[in-house]
Amino acid sequence: MERHPSDRRTGITWPDDQAGTEHPGRAVDRERAAPSAAPPVLLYKGVVVHNGVEHPGRHEPLIDQVTWSTVQDILTSRRNGERSREHDHYLKGTVFCVECGRRLIVQHTRTKAGRVYEYFVCHRSRDTVCPQRKALPIAQVEQRVADLYRTIELNPAQRERIEQIVLVKLHRQQAVNDERLTQIAVEAQTIDANQAKLLEAYYAGAIPRELFLTHQRRLNAEQANLVREKAKMESNNADIRQRLCDALDLLQDAHATYTDAPVTVRKQLNRAIFAGIFLGPDPTQIRAELNEPFASITQPG
């Protein structure tokens, strides 16, 4: 085995078989063959299993927390066939240490024979904060992330079913929203009437100026709250369906999309879908946290 001269200094454990970094396929075959390497995240199959099951009382918005610009960027760059330009490694910011949750960072090591190998290592392994001290060959990490896409992708039939399920939920939510919007209209009319009465009473000399101003401020504040609430509900309603379709577009045949994509698009896909992918050296040590709405779509109920 070729030793990296700075092993002692960094405290990082390099894999015994460094040559393995040039053959990511081998490591992946091992990973797939291992019976313990269960799919790391519960995904679409869960939706299908849950199809038809009622989830009462879930009327909260499904898709209101996402920054949609990222998704839009991806769809745009896919349409325009954007060329890849690599500055940082595209997994930077997506992969994290399974032990301590810190970022994994790229490190190079040069063997005595002059060959350079790239690894991901835990950001905190240098200062001994994290117990996870093994370096992860970059090619293996790339492959494991690509494999993760197999577990989250949808075929057209699955996409169709999920779209139907989620649209039913959206429809229920729309009904609740409509009810509230009607209520808001009534409340706004009441406030208008009260403002008119208040003004009338003030000009008739029935209430002192201070009391008039106090009531006026209160009514204005209530009115402003209603206007805000109404605007928020209306903008949610307008965007939500399009956002859902965008998310489903990304997930349909996601593995092929991801593996065919240039690294800039891979990076955007990872950022849009995953809040983080947490990895350790063992093939079973992988845990994915999904952003909304992907988490809601994939884990209903």
Nearest distance in Å: CB 55, Zn ion: 37
Judged by CB under 5 A, does residue 99 bind Zn ion?
yes
Burial environment of residue 88 by CB neighbours within 10 A (0 to 12, 13 to 18, 19 or more): exposed
Q: Which is nearer to Zn ion, 94 or 132 (CB)?
A: 132
**Given the rule CB under 5 A, which of 74-82, 92-100, 193-201, 241-249 is the region that contacts Zn ion?**
92-100
Instruction: Name residue, tokens 């690894």.
Output: 119
* Chain center to CA of 55: 23
Any idea what the Cα angle at residue 282 is, between residues 280 and 283, rounded to 5°?
105
Does 100 sit near Zn ion (CB under 5 A)? Answer: yes
120 binds Zn ion (CB under 5 A): no
Nearer to Zn ion, 99 or 153 (CB): 99
Q: Which is closer to Zn ion, CB of 125 or CB of 140?
A: 125
Quick one: which of 122, 233, 288, 295 contacts Zn ion (CB under 5 A)?
Answer: 122
Which stretch in 17-25, 53-61, 76-84, 95-103 sits in contact with Zn ion by CB under 5 A? 95-103
Closer to Zn ion by CB, 97 or 250: give it: 97
Residue 97 contacts Zn ion per CB under 5 A: yes
Nearer to Zn ion by Cβ, of 27 and 97: the residue is 97
Q: Which stretch binds Zn ion (CB under 5 A): 94-102, 159-167, 195-203, 270-278?
A: 94-102
- Please list the alpha-helical segments (H only) found in the chain: 7-10, 24-33, 44-50, 68-80, 138-152, 156-203, 209-251, 254-260, 263-273, 294-298
Residue 135 near residue 20 (C-beta atoms within 8 A) = no
Residues 219/191, Cβ–Cβ less than 8 Å: yes
β-pair partners for 110: 116
∠ CA 7-12-15 to the nearest 5 degrees?
A: 90
Q: Is 136 an interacting residue with respect to Zn ion (CB under 5 A)?
A: no
Contact 272, 259 (CB under 8 A): no
Among residues 130, 162, 170, 254, the one that binds Zn ion under rule CB under 5 A: 130
State phi, psi for 262 to the nearest 5 degrees: -65, 160
Q: Minimum Å distance from CB 28 to Zn ion?
A: 23
**Shortest Å, Cβ 88 to Zn ion:** 19
Identify which of residues 130 and 295 has a Cβ nearer to Zn ion in the complex.
130
Q: Enumerate binding residues for Zn ion (CB under 5 A).
A: 97, 99-100, 102, 122, 130, 132
